[in-house]
Amino acid sequence: MKIFVNARFLTQPVSGVQRYGIECSRQIKKLYHEAEFVAPPHIIHHDIAKELNVKIIGSRGGHLWEQIDLPLYLAKQKFPPLLNLANTGPVFYSNNYVTIHDLAFYHHPEWNSRKFSMWYNILIPRLAYRSRHIFTVSNTIKNELVKCYDLPPSKISVTFNGISQNMLEAAAGKISTKEKIILSVGTFNIRKNHPNLVAGYLDSKYNKEYCLVLVGDKNKVFKDAGIDEETLEHTNIKIYSTLTEPDLIAMYQRAEVLVSLSLYEGFGIPILEGLFNRCKVICSDIPVYRELFTGAVSFCDPLDLDSITAAINDLTNIPPIAPEQLDALLARYSYKNAAETILGKIDKGYK
């Protein structure tokens, strides 16, 4: 049996969804040499495409490639199983396996453009109903899929995120000196809740002693937080609109604290990465974080500025994660485990 993997994610900037696609693909290639990775033109991650031996097919891009070029190509291959790792896939293809990372578009369509929310609310449920099997990245999202789309639990398997290959290699045998840095990693949109993080940090007693480092778009986050450029000049805040992967890993290694105040997530890769790099972690008290990280992090109410400020004020009292607790998390949350689950379900479908 030959498995085809939809590698369209290699044409997109890396966020959590693309990271899952890249790292699961790396593990799938190691575990199942017969897998073939296909993508549209205009790949931007050329080194990963080379590593996966990606085949460029079709001439279109984006959703048109996925809905037209990809299924036409697969029809010529006699309709083999297709693995879609990044939410979307060809809706009329009959042999789909798909990972759905979260249902933010369903619960909060206002968080994205009207066009995006409409398309996902049309595409995702149809893809879910027609797929042979669904994967998702936490039990919280599995339960949402069952409830929102009336899907049988047996049709959904949980394949947690993990630590990337490059981050694992960078940490091998290295002991980093921590600096007084509070780090927040994630694209700036409404659900990431950066304005409340900035406000809580500025109200805290550590706004001079600790530097707040944000990775994202400078103008948007400060406009939303009501902070002008003149005020920003007098804060201990640094913003990086882009960081290379090695630079981001180095920032994790330097940071003493990792903060994630998201209002909704499917998993929360930065929290796991922060714990892996021995950061103290402050995060939102939301269901998925409770499921995945209870006992390893400090929770606060992401909508209550007093709660956020209090959590930051207490950061010196947050103990670092115990080595045995981290080992247990890494044993459970890994891309190798995810790839094994995925391949097992596809193989089971053909026995």
User: What domains are defined for the chain?
Assistant: 4-162+334-348 (3.40.50.2000), 165-332 (3.40.50.2000)
pLDDT in tens, 161-189: 999 999 999 988 777 899 999 999 988 88
Residue 229 confidence (pLDDT) above 70: no
Rounded to two decimals, the pTM is 0.94
Mean pLDDT value across residues 75-101: 97
Higher model confidence: residue 235 or residue 164?
A: 164
Residue 350 confidence (pLDDT) above 70: no
Confidence class of residue 226 from pLDDT cuts 50, 70 and 90? low
Q: At what angle do helices 269-276 and 323-332 cross, to 10 degrees?
A: 140
pLDDT value, residue 225: 53
Q: How many CB atoms lie within 10 A of CB 227?
A: 17
The dihedral built from the CA positions of residue 179, 180, 182 and 186, taken in this order, carries a sign that is negative
| Rounded Cα–Cα distance for residues 305 and 302 (Å) | 7
| Rounded Cα–Cα distance for residues 49 and 58 (Å) | 16
Q: Say whether 262 sits in a helix, a strand or coil.
A: coil
Mean pLDDT value across residues 251-275: 97
Mean pLDDT value across residues 50-76: 95
Confidence class of residue 239 from pLDDT cuts 50, 70 and 90? confident
